[in-house]
Amino acid sequence: MSILPLPFSEVKKTLENATTITILSHLNPDADTLGTALGIYALLSKEKHLKVEVVNASPELPIHLDFLPHFKKIKQQMDYKESVIISCDCGSIDRLGFDLRGREIINIDHHHSNTRYGSLNAILPEYASASQVAFALFKELYPINEDAATCFYSALLSDTRYFTTTSVNEEVFHVARLLVKAGANPNDIAYHFTQRRPLSSFRILEKALASLTLVQDAKVATLRVTQDDIRATGASMPDLDGIVDYASSLVTVEVAVFVMELGDGIRVSLRSKKVDVSKVALAFGGGGHKVAAGFTLLQCGLQESIDTILSKIQELGLLNGK
């Protein structure tokens, strides 16, 4: 057994006693949440005594992740009424999109802001992806098969932005090596992330970049897309993913703000090179990591949102190194 602060024996016992399992990923899913969920599905669906479903409440899934083993098994509705819930990469329970009152929940995550809503919490904030946490936990309980390795590796590759984030260290490469050894194909997986972009993602990127504004001595960059932009380009949610990284990659920029006007509110994505933008997200009821965070504003115009966020960044003194 590992010395990691993970509830190995409790999870083992819970899964041994369970008959049905529901694996959940967060709303507006990314590769980490789905890769972690499908990786766990690949392991648990081999267990004879278990019935396992994998569910995401979002109306739309990122289609470029369709190469993940068992992707087609993801349902929008939960069928099991009393199953044990396994939540993946989700910092707060409302982001799962279901009423889970009274349910036993195994909470697997790496968000610093995780509210520990599980009956069992496997949370390692220093880990680079939720899949790294899942791998550390489940490799002690089950042999990691090729499908699980592919899912966990994909999640790790994506959440580290191809092994470039500050969370990348020797341990991450060690885990990547073990996953490749277990059957993940790095070249094939990288192809799916980098060589399959839909045209709509370029069209919406054009719109976003055209809106680029630099403020506060060019230390803060803002990007925005309107509902009209989204409609005109045919962009879907996954096409908006990663756009904020263009703004934060500018040499002078310390904080990048990407504001998206969606049907049900203003979605805000924040990036930084160093300062803690999760403080901004938390102030508006969102969450995330130090250098990548997000939240949603309701009943707020596009420009108003940007102004509110910029003053919050000032108020928190983020540009003074906090």
| Interacting residues with Mn ion (CB under 5 A) | 32, 89, 130, 159
Nearer to Mn ion, 149 or 225 (CB): 149
Determine the Cα–Cα distance for residues 316 and 322; give it in Å rounded to an integer.
8
DSSP class of residue 270 equals E
Six-digit token string for 70: 């068992």
Neighbours of 127 (CB within 10 A): 23
| 156 neighbors 131 (Cβ within 8 angstroms) | yes
Determine the Cα–Cα distance for residues 180 and 173; give it in Å rounded to an integer.
10
> Least CB distance from residue 316 to Mn ion, whole Å?
23
Residue 47 neighbours by CB under 8 Å, 6+ apart: 15, 142
Residue 20 neighbours by CB under 8 Å, 6+ apart: 50, 51, 52, 53, 80, 82, 83, 84
3-state helix, strand, coil in the chain (%, to 5): 40, 20, 40
Tell me the residue number closest to Mn ion, measured at CB. Answer: 32
Nearer to Mn ion, 11 or 156 (CB): 156
Nearer to Mn ion, 83 or 154 (CB): 154
> Least CB distance from residue 138 to Mn ion, whole Å?
16
> Least CB distance from residue 161 to Mn ion, whole Å?
11
> Least CB distance from residue 317 to Mn ion, whole Å?
27
Six-digit token string for 201: 């993602």
Name the phi and psi angles at 142, rounded to 5. Answer: -140, 155
> Least CB distance from residue 108 to Mn ion, whole Å?
10
> Least CB distance from residue 130 to Mn ion, whole Å?
5
- Tell me how far apart the terminal alpha carbons of the chain are, to the nearest angstrom: 38
> Least CB distance from residue 81 to Mn ion, whole Å?
29
Nearer to Mn ion, 153 or 222 (CB): 153
Nearer to Mn ion, 156 or 300 (CB): 156
Nearer to Mn ion, 134 or 220 (CB): 134
Nearer to Mn ion, 32 or 229 (CB): 32
